[in-house]
Amino acid sequence: MGVPVEATPTMWNARAPTKLLEPRYYTGAGNPNRSYDVSPDGGRFLMIKASGTDAGAAPPALIVVQHWDEELKRLVPTK
């Protein structure tokens, strides 16, 4: 939610809240850490999409490469 605020040295006034984002992003349930970040100019958010929110998206995948250091030694031999 976003709340427009008007402030002067002698007055503070908050207007009605408005919805900023749809609830399809990861919220870090039970995680005390923040699950988003704001750009330095305050104009954008960086958030993690919750799984299953985009029907056209490919399923999540994780590639694990074991013993990568041995392959690196083979490809880039040292003297």
Torsions phi, psi for 75 (to 5 deg): -80, -30
C-alpha pair distances (Å), 70 with each of 23, 46, 51, 77: 44, 36, 34, 10
pTM: 0.39
Share above pLDDT 90 across residues of the chain, in percent, rounded to a whole number: 19
pLDDT band at 12 (very low <50, low <70, confident <90, very high): very high
